[in-house]
């Protein structure tokens, strides 16, 4: 499986060289005909020399006569499965056609025979209904039709599948209610019907029908019912019925041996404090509990403090009575806590500081008073204490953490903030406004800076906007907008049951070959920081990137290839493979990745997770939809066909002069946008140099390291990877990229990279932004040896900087500002490092010429 589509075709081609015909109407004939008609094998290779049983994807019986297994996952199969091909494999026991582009099935497909035990058609584009003759698969044990476009009602003939253990039909368009014959499948261990259009009620006796059931996922449908429907599920450990129409009490839900319970976005009601009377529930096993967006009243669980292994707790948006803060200090494993709008009163207890693993804390919309002294929690990434009655100063220890956090909100409290205590950079990056009293609306990546004039008016506008957003959110909740959010899509189990993909795996790009020395892909974990309950493995990375196919390759940089991927649950990521071997142990590497995952800034590409695949280190980042700056400036982004498109000025601006909308036909590069990219990139480097302890030197600042998110905000990538990358990087970085390396790197005894070498690389990027010329290779008038830096510096010295400015942005902003930006680049690219300004100074200089 590690060969990918290209390797697959090559292997098949080896079997197609000699002219030795397959016998007609044999299993080998049917499989070969199937692969040829679906485009996997060229039509020119019309004969196969080897026995079908020797093929890599085919498994035969003991006598090597009949095909009993075919694994054709991720081979690029497209279109309809033809008649008289694999539908004729009468002895087939296992068929895997997942991760292809199949749109329909042959008329004889559902007549494969009574021996079929495993059928996987997931991640295709198959539409239509399931025919009634699916009941012919009497021996079927696992059926996976997930992530397709199947529609219609579930056939009643499913009642004939008495051996079925795994049923996955999630992410389709099935309608109607679950048929009562479904209860005959009493061997089921895992059921996933989530995110379809199912309605009605569960069949009577649903819970007692499945004594072996461990996993049940009905999320994202419109199913009616009550908690009594689940009585009798003696073996269940995972229950997700979120986003449905279940009503009544939840007393019957809490029973052994549940570990994951998601009841969110339903219509449950009653007092959950009574659950403690159910003595059969073992709280210590519970790992995940979400009861948000229901109608619960009263107070919290009395036995909640017994859930010592609980990692995720969400009780938000209910109708609880006013109550004091729960004893959460007895939940040491807690990583996610959402008690928004739960009637909390009093102060936040000091014991909350003992939750060392906590990453998300939402206490908004309550009646909390006092100070927030104890919220200086080391791993905290998301903090919301808005809409309370909190007072006092925000502790300086918390303020220092804010630039590294993912999201925070202190709005609508009675905090005091003394502007004189902090630098202007800290105020502008962490708070809106610089008043001595609040309310404060904090979350820097949601707002735009302009506080020099009309501060009172703009603060009022910000508060009004926040109130409007709050009212819209409440209205959406009240009128049932729950189906749009799909907020729990990503909580599903991502592994494929009974699928062990064996290695080692080898992948090739234009510039390198890298190997993941993994024996079983499903045994190697993938860590996703913000989704700790998702059991991703290296097999999921293979699936997400089409076996690291070249078609998913985004770039090949100094660190290694970068692939685009879509993990289960719709998590869009960029997967960077660090091709140099590291001398660090797995434990040291994991610790370094965990540290980098905590570094957060609005202008940095966040590290989402990582995978240690043998000796191979793989970094996983948020995917940046718009691509990188190098493609933006020089290669043209997707959808832009001609350079003339770049001159079309179709952007809008708000009162703060912030770019709000870029035309859909292409990126409209005005001076305002280019300045925005320059300032954001400078802020990212200033944070790495001055806001991290110890300071982080990027070492490879260049246009292709600057990405743009969906809002066209610049995000700097590849920071902090040098230690993990391996011994070869230090020498490679000292040599530097010819286009961005400072002069000191060309010396025989070049030293190590410093912050000033990053400054030089930024200066080159700034020149590129203003001139839209390549650092080297463009036609410069000064001769063959000229490059962008020497050309622009010469013009600036002669006060002729206007000549260098890109004609596309002339007239789209004050040219004096553009000339001044060239002078800033001139300072950054000084020959002597001591003559270059710091990134903090550069941020100030760029802010002074911000377009008005």
Domains defined along the chain, listed by start: 625-852 (1.10.510.10)
Cβ atoms < 10 Å from Cβ of 24: 8
Place of tokens 């403690």: 276
Q: How high is the pLDDT of residue 655?
A: 32
d(CA 104, CA 80): 4
Q: For residue 308, give both structure tokens.
A: 């010592």
Of 715, 722, 714, the C-alpha closest to 696 is 722
d(CA 804, CA 796): 9
d(CA 491, CA 287): 13
Q: How high is the pLDDT of residue 842?
A: 92
Q: How high is the pLDDT of residue 498?
A: 38
The strand pair at 336-338 and 173-176 is best described as unpaired
**Alpha carbon 302 to its chain's center:** 36
d(CA 423, CA 438): 18
Of 745, 768, 781, 757, the C-alpha closest to 825 is 768
d(CA 772, CA 673): 13
Which run of H or of E encompasses 687? helix 671-690
Place of tokens 């909100």: 409
Length of the chain: 852
Question: Phi/psi class of residue 620: alpha, beta or left (left: φ > 0; alpha: ψ in -120 to 50)?
Answer: beta
**Residue 657 in contact with residue 852, Cβ under 8 Å?**
yes
Please state, in angstroms and as integers, the Cα–Cα distance from residue 221 to each residue in 197, 200, 497, following that order: 5, 10, 23
Q: How high is the pLDDT of residue 488?
A: 27
Of 808, 840, 845, the C-alpha closest to 823 is 845
The helix/strand/coil state of 729 is helix
**Residue 197 in contact with residue 222, Cβ under 8 Å?**
yes
Q: Could you give phi then psi for residue 56, rounded to 5 degrees? A: -65, -30
Q: How high is the pLDDT of residue 826?
A: 93
| Residues 582-594: tens digit of each pLDDT | 677 888 888 888 8
Q: How high is the pLDDT of residue 279?
A: 57
**Residue 132 in contact with residue 161, Cβ under 8 Å?**
no
Four-residue CA torsion sign, 780, 786, 789, 790: negative
Query: pTM of this prediction?
Result: 0.52
Q: Terminus-to-terminus CA distance in the chain, angstroms?
A: 56
Q: Which residues of 360-390 are buried (b: 16+ CB within 10 A; e: fewer)?
A: bbbbbbbebeeebbbbebeebbbbbbbbbeb
Q: How high is the pLDDT of residue 455?
A: 46
Q: How high is the pLDDT of residue 500?
A: 52
Place of tokens 């008043």: 435
Residue 448: how many CA atoms within 13 Å on its side-chain side?
16
* DSSP E strand boundaries for 696-841: 706-708, 714-716
d(CA 237, CA 623): 33
Please state, in angstroms and as integers, the Cα–Cα distance from residue 827 to each residue in 674, 737, 823, 834, 841, following that order: 19, 20, 6, 11, 11
**Residue 108 in contact with residue 52, Cβ under 8 Å?**
no
Alpha-carbon Rg for the chain in angstroms: 30
Q: How high is the pLDDT of residue 668?
A: 44
d(CA 799, CA 462): 42
**Residue 201 in contact with residue 177, Cβ under 8 Å?**
yes
| DSSP conformational letter for 433 | S
Cβ atoms < 10 Å from Cβ of 679: 20
Question: Phi/psi class of residue 317: alpha, beta or left (left: φ > 0; alpha: ψ in -120 to 50)?
Answer: left
**Which residues are marked as active site?**
700
The helix/strand/coil state of 198 is strand
Q: How high is the pLDDT of residue 477?
A: 47
d(CA 26, CA 23): 6
Place of tokens 């391996």: 726
d(CA 367, CA 413): 10
Please state, in angstroms and as integers, the Cα–Cα distance from residue 201 to each residue in 178, 191, 218, following that order: 8, 16, 12
The helix/strand/coil state of 561 is strand
Q: For residue 292, give both structure tokens.
A: 């948000």
Q: Which residues of the chain have pLDDT under 50?
A: 1-21, 43-47, 419-420, 422, 426, 429-430, 432-460, 475-499, 636-668, 727-736
**Residue 307 in contact with residue 283, Cβ under 8 Å?**
yes
Instruction: Specify which residues 572 forms β-bridges with.
Output: 566
d(CA 835, CA 829): 9
Give the angle subtended at the CA of 484 by the CAs of 483 and 490, to the nearest 5°: 85
d(CA 494, CA 147): 12
**Alpha carbon 414 to its chain's center:** 36
Q: How high is the pLDDT of residue 425?
A: 52
Q: How high is the pLDDT of residue 610?
A: 92
């Amino acid at each position: 499986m590690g060969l990918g589509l290209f390797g697959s075709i090559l292997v098949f081609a080896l079997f197609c060289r000699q002219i030795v015909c397959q016998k007609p109407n044999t299993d080998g004939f049917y499989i070969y005909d199937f692969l040829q008609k679906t485009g996997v094998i060229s039509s020119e290779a019309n004969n196969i020399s080897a026995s079908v049983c020797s093929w890599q994807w085919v498994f035969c019986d003991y006598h090597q006569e009949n095909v009993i297994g075919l694994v054709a996952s991720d081979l690029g199969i497209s279109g309809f499965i033809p008649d008289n091909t694999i539908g004729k494999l009468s002895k087939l026991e296992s068929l895997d056609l997942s991760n292809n582009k199949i749109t329909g099935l042959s008329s004889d497909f559902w007549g494969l025979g009574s021996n079929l035990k495993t059928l996987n058609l997931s991640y295709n584009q198959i539409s239509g209904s399931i025919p009634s003759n699916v009941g012919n698969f009497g021996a079927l044990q696992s059926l996976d039709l997930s992530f397709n476009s199947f529609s219609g009602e579930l056939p009643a003939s499913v009642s004939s599948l008495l051996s079925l253990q795994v049923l996955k039909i999630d992410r389709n368009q099935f309608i109607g209610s679950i048929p009562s014959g479904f209860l005959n499948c009493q061997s089921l261990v895992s059921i996933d019907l989530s995110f379809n259009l199912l309605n009605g009620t569960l069949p009577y006796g649903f819970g007692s029908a499945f004594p072996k059931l461990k996993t049940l996922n009905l999320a994202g449908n419109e199913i009616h019912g009550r908690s009594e429907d689940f009585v009798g599920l003696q073996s269940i450990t995972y229950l997700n019925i979120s986003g449905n129409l279940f009503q009544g009490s939840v007393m019957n839900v809490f029973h052994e041996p549940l570990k994951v319970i998601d009841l969110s976005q339903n219509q449950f009601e009653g007092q959950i404090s009574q659950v403690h009377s159910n003595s059969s529930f073992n709280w210590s096993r519970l790992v995940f509990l979400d009861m948000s967006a229901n109608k619960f009243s009263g107070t919290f669980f009395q036995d909640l403090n017994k859930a010592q292994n609980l990692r995720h707790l969400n009780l938000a948006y209910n109708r609880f009575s006013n109550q004091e803060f729960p004893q959460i200090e007895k939940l040491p494993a807690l990583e996610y806590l959402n008690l928004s709008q739960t009637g909390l009163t009093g102060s936040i207890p000091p014991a909350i500081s003992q939750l060392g693993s906590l990453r998300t804390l939402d206490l908004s919309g309550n009646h909390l008073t006092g100070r927030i002294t104890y919220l200086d929690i080391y791993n905290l990434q998301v903090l919301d204490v808005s809409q309370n009655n909190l007072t006092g100063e925000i502790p300086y220890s918390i303020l220092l953490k804010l630039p590294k956090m993912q999201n925070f909100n202190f709005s609508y409290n009675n905090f005091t903030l003394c502007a004189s205590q902090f630098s202007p950079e800290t105020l502008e990056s962490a708070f809106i406004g610089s008043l001595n009293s609040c309310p404060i609306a904090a979350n820097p990546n949601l707002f735009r800076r302009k506080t020099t004039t009309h501060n009172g008016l703009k603060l009022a506008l910000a508060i009004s906007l926040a109130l409007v957003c709050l009212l819209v959110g409440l209205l959406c909740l009240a009128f049932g907008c729950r189906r749009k959010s799909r907020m729990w899509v990503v909580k599903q189990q991502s592994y494929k049951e009974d699928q062990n993909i064996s290695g080692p795996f080898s992948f090739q790009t234009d510039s390198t070959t890298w190997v993941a020395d993994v024996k079983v892909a499903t045994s190697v974990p993938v860590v996703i920081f913000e989704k700790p309950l998702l059991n991703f493995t290296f097999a999921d990375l293979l699936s997400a990137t089409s076996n690291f196919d070249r078609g998913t390759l985004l770039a090949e940089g100094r660190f290694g290839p970068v692939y685009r991927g879509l993990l289960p649950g719709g998590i869009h990521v960029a997967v960077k493979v660090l091709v140099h071997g590291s001398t660090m142990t797995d434990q040291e590497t994991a610790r370094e990745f965990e540290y980098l995952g905590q570094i957060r800034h609005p202008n940095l590409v966040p590290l989402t997770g990582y995978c240690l695949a043998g000796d191979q280190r793989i970094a996983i980042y948020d995917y940046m939809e718009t691509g990188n700056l190098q493609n933006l400036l020089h290669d043209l982004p997707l959808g832009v066909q001609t350079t003339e498109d770049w001159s079309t000025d179709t952007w809008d601006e708000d009162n703060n002069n912030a770019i709000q909308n870029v035309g859909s036909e292409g990126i409209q590069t005005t001076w305002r946008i280019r300045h925005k990219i320059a300032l954001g990139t400078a802020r990212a480097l200033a944070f790495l140099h001055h806001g991290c302890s110890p300071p982080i030197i990027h070492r490879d600042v260049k246009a292709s390291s600057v990405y743009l998110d969906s809002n066209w905000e610049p995000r700097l990538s590849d920071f902090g990877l040098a230690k993990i990358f391996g011994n070869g990087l230090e020498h490679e970085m000292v040599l530097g990229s010819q286009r961005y390396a400072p002069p000191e790197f060309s010396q025989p005894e070049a030293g190590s990279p410093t912050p000033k070498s990053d400054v030089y690389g930024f200066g080159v990027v700034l020149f590129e932004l203003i001139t839209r010329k390549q650092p080297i290779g463009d036609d410069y008038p000064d001769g063959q040896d000229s490059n962008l830096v020497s050309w622009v510096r010469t013009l600036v010295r002669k006060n002729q900087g206007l000549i260098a400015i890109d004609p596309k942005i002339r007239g789209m902003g004050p040219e004096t500002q553009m000339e001044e930006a060239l002078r800033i680049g001139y300072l950054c690219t000084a020959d002597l490092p001591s003559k270059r300004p710091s990134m903090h100074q550069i941020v100030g200089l760029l802010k002074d010429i911000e377009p008005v």
